Amino acid sequence: MTSLQDSVVLVTGANGGLGNHFVHQALDRGAAKVYASARRPMQWEDSRVVPLPLDVTDRDSVTAAAASAPDVGIVINNAGISNGASVIGDHTDLRAMFETNFFGALGVADAFTPALRTHGGTLLNVLSVLSWIGIGDGYSASKAALWSATNTLRLILSRQGVHVAALHLGYTDTPMTAGVDAPKNDPADVVRLAYDGIEAGAAEILADDISRQVKAGLAAPIETLYPQLATR
């Protein structure tokens, strides 16, 4: 279990809807320092927040960020994009999405593992209910790949004293889902549950009913998860 009290936290994608809440709630829980990273980091009023340039798709940027933050004990791997890419047709946008959502997340995990190993820390990968259901097309594919890699990281890093957790959530009220006409989670609630899970030592954190329902349905026949297939 990892306590937020007096911790040093790194949040990727800190300028975004979830990222902003990850920064503020870490402070509310007593974090001593929060590295708020982004390609173009914003300025923060709290002196405990350290803006940190970090482009997860740039290996040199990730390496430099890790060198600047050797005291990190909790990494929130939150940076991600959704660009409408499909697994069908031209894969240019799909490759770009994988560079951020998959390879970028793995690059951050790899670069910060030495710090997490030193401090017996926690890595949280922000996934999605779409990790388990393909209705998100290319986005689902990128998050499914990261889900699989997260399970592998969990096995490898547990032997090194690093806890790996995964956060799954449905539609949440952030700029990424601005065009979605559906009920949405409050991002503050999602982040609160994520930090509760980290402090409880949870390996898998399901932030809402839809994530719990889809996870429970994975053992059912494929037509249960995709009822549209049953009509063909």
Q: Mind listing the domains of the chain with CATH numbers?
A: 8-231 (3.40.50.720)
pLDDT tens digits, residue range 5-26? 999 999 999 998 899 999 999 9
Ranges in the chain, pLDDT < 70: 231-232
What pLDDT is recorded for position 180?
A: 75
Burial class (CB in 10 A: 0-12, 13-18, 19+), 129: buried
- What per-residue string of b and e applies to 45-54 under the rule 16 or more CB within 10 Å gives b? eeeebbbbeb
pLDDT computed for residue 232 by the predictor: 56
Q: Nearest 5°: CA angle at 94, between 89 and 98?
A: 155
